[in-house]
């Protein structure tokens, strides 16, 4: 599906200082200055998952990363329309590869990969967020015994990811081929609400 560009999205986001990080140096100097656990969602989409996680776990700091300004705009508006506006949540507009050097090593407790782009062609494999090249970067960011939690509706991507976890010497500690038929705690994304009506959601919890 083609992404619909929203006119003025970038200017809108730049006005949300304190909620949307535009100066990446602030990420190091401000957000990581205390010892609270940090959770990062790579590709937050319209923001439902990360917003509800922040409400559920007020003692955890959440970072929502999204590379498309038109998509992040919707996440910010969802936050602003929410009756409860958690203060333990910040948003970053950018690509993971661009912000990687700004993130401190061995500080993040959990990384969420929710319904990442499957990049289905073989030549696109290195662009998948569970490719071993990305996994090795995550390992540098995560604390000892830190977690990667993946959800997807794409079985091919899921099988590929399981192979990559093994190649990266990560421990898969929980797997489900139909998440919604388990008692695993789960907060759904907007995409998940629709796709779970059409087929199973695949889930993996991986430990560094």
- By annotation, the residues acting in catalysis are 117
CA gyration radius, the chain: 16
Q: How far is CA 44 from CA 29, 66, 126, in A?
A: 23, 6, 20
Taking the C-alpha atoms of residue 195 and residue 12, their distance in angstroms, rounded to an integer, is 30
Taking the C-alpha atoms of residue 98 and residue 9, their distance in angstroms, rounded to an integer, is 20
Q: Which residues contact 69 (CB under 8 A, 6 or more apart)?
A: 6, 9, 10, 13, 93
Candidates 116, 139, 81; CA nearest to 202 is: 116
């Amino acid at each position: 599906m083609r992404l619909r560009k929203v006119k003025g999205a970038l200017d809108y986001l730049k006005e949300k200082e304190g909620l949307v990080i535009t100066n990446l140096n602030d990420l190091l100097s401000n957000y990581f200055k205390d010892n609270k656990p940090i959770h990062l969602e790579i590709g937050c989409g319209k923001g439902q998952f990360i917003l509800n996680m922040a409400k559920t776990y007020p003692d955890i700091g959440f970072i929502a990363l999204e590379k498309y300004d038109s998509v992040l705009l919707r996440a910010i508006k969802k936050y602003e329309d929410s009756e409860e506006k958690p203060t333990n949540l910040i948003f970053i507009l950018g690509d993971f590869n661009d912000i990687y050097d700004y993130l401190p090593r061995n500080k993040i407790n959990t990384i969420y990969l929710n319904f990442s782009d499957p990049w289905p062609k073989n030549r696109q494999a290195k662009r998948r967020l569970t490719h071993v090249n990305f996994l090795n970067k995550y390992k540098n960011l995560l604390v000892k015994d830190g977690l990667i939690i993946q959800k997807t509706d794409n079985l091919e991507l899921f099988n590929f990811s399981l192979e990559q976890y093994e190649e990266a010497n990560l421990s898969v500690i929980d797997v489900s081929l139909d998440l919604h038929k388990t008692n695993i705690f789960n907060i759904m994304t907007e995409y998940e609400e629709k796709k779970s009506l059409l087929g199973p959601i695949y889930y993996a919890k991986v430990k560094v």
